[in-house]
Amino acid sequence: MTWIAGGLLAMAVVAGPADAFAHEGRELLGAPAPAWELVEWFNSRPLSLGQLKGQVVLVRWWTGPECPYCAASAPHLVQWDEQYRRRGLAVVGIYHHKSPAPVTREHVAQLVERYGFRFPVAIDPEWRTLQRWWLDGSGQKWTSVSFLIDQEGIIRFIHPGGSYTDEEARTMESLIQELLG
């Protein structure tokens, strides 16, 4: 278990924001976030996780409007980006394509605009990074997942699943604030 200054983050690591998610991803907490293989960046030049060292990073995998959970989480991501960017939060959206139609840059650009994302967004081709970060050998149920990474590149919190309940959003925002110090 990873304990850092402040009670809220320690509590989240132990119990998670929702009992249904308390066990999913626990083994990844306290580990360095792996590198990513992302292409087709929007709102940014291509970024590496190493370039974001020194910032708190919220990585969110999402897909299109066929996923109501992703649409429901979008306003939170936009709000947190706007509210905490100047204090050192980097929100990074990672699109993972689920439609049977081929993924196109234009399609993802339309979704980025539709959701109002002004933070960096990239495409995860063939879910390579999602596999390495979350799905490989773990039997995870969700492909839409959020990772909160500290300034040193260590995974401090995982929210498996699509949307954030009100309570989960409050917990996530409190954790962001705590990590930003």
Question: DSSP string spanning 140-180?
Answer: -S-SSEEEEE-TTSBEEEEEESSS--HHHHHHHHHHHHHHH
pLDDT in tens, 26-50: 889 999 999 999 989 999 999 999 9
According to the model, what pLDDT value does residue 5 have? 38
Instruction: State whether residue 90 is helix, strand or coil.
Output: strand
According to the model, what pLDDT value does residue 170 have? 94
Q: Where are the extended beta strands (E) located within the chain?
A: 39-42, 56-62, 89-95, 121-123, 145-149, 155-160
Fold classification of 32-45+53-180 is Glutaredoxin (3.40.30)
Q: What is the pTM of this model?
A: 0.86
According to the model, what pLDDT value does residue 137 have? 63
pLDDT in tens, 81-98: 999 999 999 999 999 988
According to the model, what pLDDT value does residue 139 have? 65
The pLDDT of residue 8 is above 70? no
Give the side-chain half-sphere CA count within 13 A for 50. Answer: 2
